[in-house]
Amino acid sequence: MKQISTGLLVAAMTLTGCKKAPAPAMQGMPGMPGMPAAGADTAAVKPIKIGLQVAAVTLTGCRKTAPSQEMASMKDMQGMPGMPGMPAPGADTSGVPLGRAEAARLGITFARAAERPVRSSVRAVGILKYAEPNLVYVNARVGGWVERLYADYVGKRVEQGDPLLALYSPDLVSAQEEYLLARRLKDDTLAASARRRLTLWDIPPDQIDSLETRGSVTRTLLLRAPRSGAVTEKMVIEGQAVKAGDNLFQIADARVLWVDVAIFEQDAAAVRVATPAAITVDALPGRTFRGRVTFIYPQLDEKTRTLTARVAVDNVDGALRPGMYATAALATAGRRAVSVPLEAVLPTGTKDLVFVNRRDGRFVPREVRVGLRGDSLVEIVEGLKPGDEVVASATFLLDSESNLAAAIQGLMLQMGMGLNMGGMRMPAKEGARRP
């Protein structure tokens, strides 16, 4: 009876889970202690054989049918009501599910693609300098000697008509005498010729009239400032001999200054002549000066790969000084195009992505091609159409969630194609039978 009980116990344990349970000592087996000798009662041994055969068949069937049963059970779990996170069969699970309440808690905002002007401000730097049209040289039209110097230092402010120096010239004295002689002889032709020569030597008409009224020559000629400004160069000192054509002074007017700014190559297409500019300098914090682009150089700098644009800046109060380091913000006109907020585009290094509402509560990543980048908007050349809703901020959160969901989906697919919990082979317990 003990052998019968042992066989039935093994069969029962096998049917309940194919788990090996510690069995009592098998007594009565030939060659083993406690086993009955050969020729024992065959009626008692027969039930033992039957139990062992049932156990063997059960173990074999359990091992062979387990994979198919697991696959069927995993398929049955998908789409079962009440199983959270298990999609229905055939459902599209791509994208990231996102509700409005969850988005508000996470600080995620939304926007719609629309056709609107994409405006940008190009920032560039340069150095202030005098406007070239406001520079003038004062030179001698006749040779002589400087007897008196009035503009005696660089930086002196002069007004138009102020005397700069008194020049003695023998040629000038001879021309005055010739003019006076022609007037006395009432020779209009000779007088007109002498007057023309004095005029060509840059003698003002009022000095010639004074000469005629006075009736006597003057020893020196006063050279006067042709325009108002500051003396920026002085190439003469008192008593110096000068020749005809020598430059003596440079006078500059600082009411309008220039700044040549360097525009990067990718921003060159957005800058045009007459583009307004806001100029700031570190020396005057908090102040902004207005200007506009007056000229764009025709060629790029080969070393810096930048395009130089000239900005004219009003400097009526003289607060700006040539040589100051200036920053210019150029307000470009922009163009109308389909655009989204800048934060909506997620650059990955090789492509640009946006998360688009699929209209079922899920946001899917979509590759787009971007164009002009403005201050707050970016042009979408390809990939979106007006009216598409996109995530406008915190796109990195959805990107990480999307990558995680894709990884889990791939893992679940791999598990569904394997054995023992979808291809994950569980380590065998100690003492378990191996196939």
For 255-265, how does the pLDDT look when each residue is reduced to its tens digit (9 = 90+)? Answer: 999 999 999 98
Residue 426 lies in a domain: no
Residue 129 lies in a domain: no
Q: Do 347 and 324 share a domain, yes or no?
A: no
Those residues with Cβ within 8 angstroms of residue 350's Cβ, 6 or more apart along the chain or in another chain: none
Q: Is residue 435 part of a domain?
A: no
CATH number of the structural domain spanning residue 367: 2.40.420.20
Q: Which domain holds residue 295?
A: 256-333
What pLDDT was estimated at residue 407? Answer: 56
> What pLDDT is stored for residue 311 in this prediction?
96
- Mark whether 289 and 319 lie in a shared domain: yes
208 and 148 inside one domain: yes
* pLDDT, tens digit (0-9, with 9 covering 90-100), for 115-132: 988 887 889 999 999 999
Q: Are residues 322 and 346 in the same domain?
A: no
pLDDT at position 205: 84
| Residue 91 is assigned to a structural domain of this protein | no
Does the residue 90 lie in any domain? no
Whether residue 164 lies inside any domain: the answer is: yes
Same domain, 193 and 177: yes
CA 372 to chain centre: 11
CB atoms closer than 10 angstroms to residue 22:
6
**What CATH number should be reported for the domain holding residue 266?**
2.40.30.170
In this prediction, residue 399 carries a pLDDT of 65
Three-state DSSP class for residue 127: strand
The pLDDT of residue 101: 82
AA identity, residue 350: T
Q: Is residue 117 part of a domain?
A: no
Q: Could you tell me if 160 and 201 lie in one domain?
A: yes
Residue 249 · residue 235 · CB < 8 Å: yes
Residues of the chain with pLDDT under 70: 1-95, 395, 398-435
Do 283 and 341 lie in one domain? The reply is: no
The last residue of one of the domains, among 333, 350, 373, is 333
Number of domains within the chain: 4
Note the pTM of the prediction, 2 decimals: 0.58
The helix or strand, by DSSP H or E, that contains position 277, with its residue range, turns out to be strand 276-281
CB atoms under 10 Å from CB of 254, counted, come to 18
**Is 82 inside any structural domain?**
no
